[in-house]
């Protein structure tokens, strides 16, 4: 192998290793060097915030020691993750940079802001230098107090990661009561409810209403004619006999119109109906013969 090529490859490999060591870090390992921060370190791991920190290239962690973090223990997991994410600033701040803040104050973007669930200024921190030179952190939500003091720098790798010790956790009330959207949320009061599925036995809603002049069905529901309308159907034949008997036999056509009641006492009996019909047929036949004979005589 060419000596020049070997020297170039070795230099490139050394530069790559130095660059990797300069940008890669492990927050759990860094805080593991300080036993007094093991509770804070455990919370970072439990909430998976530690892995999110390690995936970044530029970060500042505001750490709280065991004596000050007891107020966070026992909170719900989702609330804890929001709070721990609020202690991770997406920029590099060490002691020197804090003391040289422009206008002695700055608005810091946190990991919680990048989650997409923070509302308003809840995902931001306010850092301010007081007239006496003290540096305080607090939520950027309006009305929040700056009650967490900067104490010292624990670790720094410019300009990748900085771990700063603060006096108290930053825990705004609104971050614990933040309502997140979910699939089981109650519908608003004015929201319309979905239509109830109908069972096959239910009648359709748009069924036509019965006519006002329709009569109620007969009380004898076992009778074949029970529930039938009293009036004749509209499509009854025009040439139906007007004097048909009222009580037609059961095998009579369904569409036959009702006939007026006969005036004779025995009009309802089947035998009298047959006799009356027979007489009508005889008289009609005789009249037809007479008319035909008269017509033939006139034609002659």
127-144, pLDDT tens digit by residue? 999 999 999 999 999 999
Instruction: Categorize the per-residue pLDDT at 169 as very low, low, confident or very high, splitting at 50, 70 and 90.
Output: very high
CB 156, CB 94: distance < 8 Å? yes
What pLDDT is attached to residue 80? 96
Over the stretch 226-245, which tens digit does the pLDDT of each residue have? 343 334 334 434 344 444 44
Most confident of 231-245, 253-267, 283-297: 283-297
User: What proportion of the chain, given as a percentage, has pLDDT over 70?
Assistant: 52
Say if residue 53's pLDDT is above 50.
yes
The CA distance from 82 to 120, in Å, is 15
- DSSP helix/strand/coil, 54: helix
Q: What is the pLDDT of residues 8-40, one digit of tens each?
A: 455 555 544 544 444 478 999 999 999 999 999
pLDDT in tens, 92-108: 999 999 999 999 999 99
Q: Residue 208: pLDDT band by 50, 70, 90 thresholds?
A: very low
> Cβ–Cβ contacts within 10 Å for residue 175, how many?
20
Q: Does domain 3-176 have CATH number 3.30.420.10?
A: no
Sorted by where each begins, the domain ranges of the chain are: 3-176, 266-300
Q: Which two tokens stand for residue 155?
A: 């670790």
Q: Please say whether the beta carbons of 29 and 131 come within 8 A.
A: no
Q: In what order do the strands lie in the sheet with 148-157?
A: 88-89, 59-63, 161-166, 148-157, 135-139, 124-129, 105-109
The Cβ of residue 88 has, within 10 Å, a number of other Cβ atoms equal to 23
CA distance 230 to 211: 12
Asked whether the predicted pLDDT for residue 87 surpasses 80, the reply is: yes
Q: What is the pLDDT of residue 290?
A: 64
pTM of the predicted model over 0.85: no
Q: What is the mean pLDDT of residues 167-193?
A: 66
Q: State both tokens at 183.
A: 């699939």
Q: How confident is the model at residue 283 (pLDDT cuts 50, 70, 90)?
A: low
Indicate if the pLDDT at residue 255 is higher than 80: no
């Amino acid at each position: 192998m060419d000596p020049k090529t070997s020297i170039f490859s070795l230099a490139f490999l050394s530069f790559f290793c130095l660059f990797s060591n300069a940008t890669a870090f492990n927050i759990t390992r860094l805080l593991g060097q300080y036993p007094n921060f093991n509770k804070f370190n455990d919370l970072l791991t439990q909430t998976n915030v530690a892995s999110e920190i390690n995936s970044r290239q530029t970060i500042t962690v505001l750490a709280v020691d065991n004596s000050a973090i007891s107020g966070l223990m026992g909170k719900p997991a989702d609330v804890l993750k929001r709070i721990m994410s609020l202690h991770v600033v997406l920029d590099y701040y060490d002691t020197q940079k804090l003391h040289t803040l422009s206008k002695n104050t700055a608005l810091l973007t946190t990991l919680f802001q990048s989650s997409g669930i923070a509302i308003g200024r809840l995902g931001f921190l306010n850092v301010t230098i007081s007239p006496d030179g003290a540096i305080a952190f607090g939520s950027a939500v309006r009305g929040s107090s700056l009650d967490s003091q900067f104490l010292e720098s624990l670790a720094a790798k410019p300009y990748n990661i900085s771990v700063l010790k603060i006096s108290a956790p930053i825990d705004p009330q609104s971050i614990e009561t933040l309502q997140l959207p979910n699939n089981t949320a109650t519908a608003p009061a004015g929201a319309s409810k979905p239509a109830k599925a109908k069972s096959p036995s239910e009648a359709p809603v748009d069924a036509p209403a019965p006519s006002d002049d329709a009569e109620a069905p007969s009380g004898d529901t076992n009778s074949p004619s029970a529930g039938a309308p009293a009036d004749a159907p509209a499509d009854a034949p025009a040439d139906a006999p007007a004097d048909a008997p009222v009580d037609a036999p059961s095998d009579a056509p369904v569409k036959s119109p009702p006939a007026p009641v006969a005036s004779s006492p025995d009009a309802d009996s089947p035998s009298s109906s047959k006799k009356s019909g027979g007489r009508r047929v005889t008289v009609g036949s005789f009249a037809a013969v007479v008319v035909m004979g008269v017509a033939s005589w006139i034609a002659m």
